[in-house]
Structure 1
Amino acid sequence: MRERLPHEIVASVLAGLTAFIGGNALHLPPWAIFISWAGTFLLGGPSLANAKRLWLAMPAGSTFALLIVLIEEHAATALGEGQFARNCMQALVILCVNSALMYVGRIKALSLIPGMFFGFASYFATFFGGFGYDPGNPWSAWVCVVAMNALGPVFAYLSMKLTFPVKETSDTTAATPATPAKASLPINHPSRPTG
């Protein structure tokens, strides 16, 4: 396939358009698009099958991250008020929830564990980065990151489609058939002329 427009230009224009998605009153995390956009190409490129795998895995990962934040908000001091006690509690929560996330990866629909971690990391960056229509609200962060991650496969598809690819045709009239090479016969072969 030959691109009528260079992929580098098309992808850069699309990347630039994400500024309008993030730079509005909703304060959405446009970088979350890039996470799943790259994930689409890591899976082999834009296709409905790859998009569906990401659309299932990323929200699942974001949901596990949401659980960690909610537990932390309600039970951060369960082991004590000091920083070490809080760190121990946080480590315990991450151990349990992260283990659950990885076990859920045994379900066929959610078997794309790296995709779940894309959503997991995107959620934390959204929540702790103060993004979303209600910064600091764990549920707002979840809605915003799931929406932005969902756009990544769409942008990946557009980055290929908007190059307006055309199939390359081979020019068969210019090519001449190759002349078969003459087989040489061994010196002592009975068909070989002598003399």
Structure 2
Amino acid sequence: MRERVPHEIAASVLAATTAFVGGTTLDLPPWAIFISWAGLHLMGPPSLANARRLWAAMPVGSAFALAIVLIDQHLAPHAGTGRWTQDALLAAVILVLNTALMYTGRLRATSLVPGMFLGFASYFATFFGGFGYHAGSVWAAWVSVVAMNALGPVYAYLAGRLTFATATPATDDDRGAVGKPAPSAAQAG
């Protein structure tokens, strides 16, 4: 395939559009698009099958992160005011829920554990970074990050399409020995 527009240009034009997606009054996290866009490429060439796996895994990871924040917010006032006790509580919550997340990776629908961790990290960055249509809301952060992570594979697909790739005619060098008789021992030697 020959790209009429270099992939670097097509991807950069799309990357520039994230300023408009995230720069709205909803204060969405545009970087969350890049996380899933890159995640899709880490799985190999972008494909619908890989996008579906990522779309299934990332919201689950974000949901586990949401649960960690909710449980910590609920229990933290009862753990005392010391930094060590607060950290110990958070560590215990992460230990339990991260273990559950890892076991969730044994299910076929959520078997893409790295994808769950991309969603997990994206949620924390969204919530603690103050992004989302209602900064400080655990639920607004979840909806915002899931929506933006969902756009990453779409951007990956569009980046490929915007190169306007065309099929290049195959040459004899490209074809190799396909369609030609194999050389005899005398010809090969």
User: TM-score higher than 0.5 here?
Assistant: yes
- In the superposition, the TM-score normalised over structure 1's length comes to 0.87
Q: Gaps spanning 5+ residues in structure 2: where?
A: 173-179
Structure with more of its chain in helix, by fraction: 2
Cα distance change on mapping 1:99 and 1:171 into 2, 3 Å: closer
Q: Which amino acid aligns with 1:61?
A: G
Q: Which moved more, 1:114-123 or 1:45-54?
A: 45-54
Counterpart in the other structure of 1:35? 35
Cα distance change on mapping 1:183 and 1:83 into 2, 3 Å: closer
Shift of 1:72: 1.1
Q: Which amino acid aligns with 2:130?
A: G
Q: Which amino acid aligns with 2:79?
A: L
Structure-2 separation of matches of 1:120 and 1:156 = 21
Q: How many residues align?
A: 179
Structure-2 separation of matches of 1:120 and 1:182 = 60
Counterpart in the other structure of 1:147? 147
Q: Which amino acid aligns with 1:84?
A: W
Q: Gaps spanning 5+ residues in structure 1: where?
A: 185-195
Counterpart in the other structure of 1:156? 156
Computed over aligned residues only, the root mean square deviation of the Cα atoms, in angstroms, reads 1.8
Larger radius of gyration: 1
Counterpart in the other structure of 2:89? 89
Q: Which amino acid aligns with 2:21?
A: I
- The runs of at least 4 consecutive aligned structure 1 residues that moved more than 6 Å come to none
Q: Which amino acid aligns with 1:120?
A: F
Shift of 1:46: 1.6
Q: Which amino acid aligns with 2:64?
A: F
- What's the % identity of the aligned pairs? 64
Structure-1 separation of matches of 2:41 and 2:83 = 41
Q: How does 1:14-33 map to 2 (within 5 A)?
A: 14-33=14-33
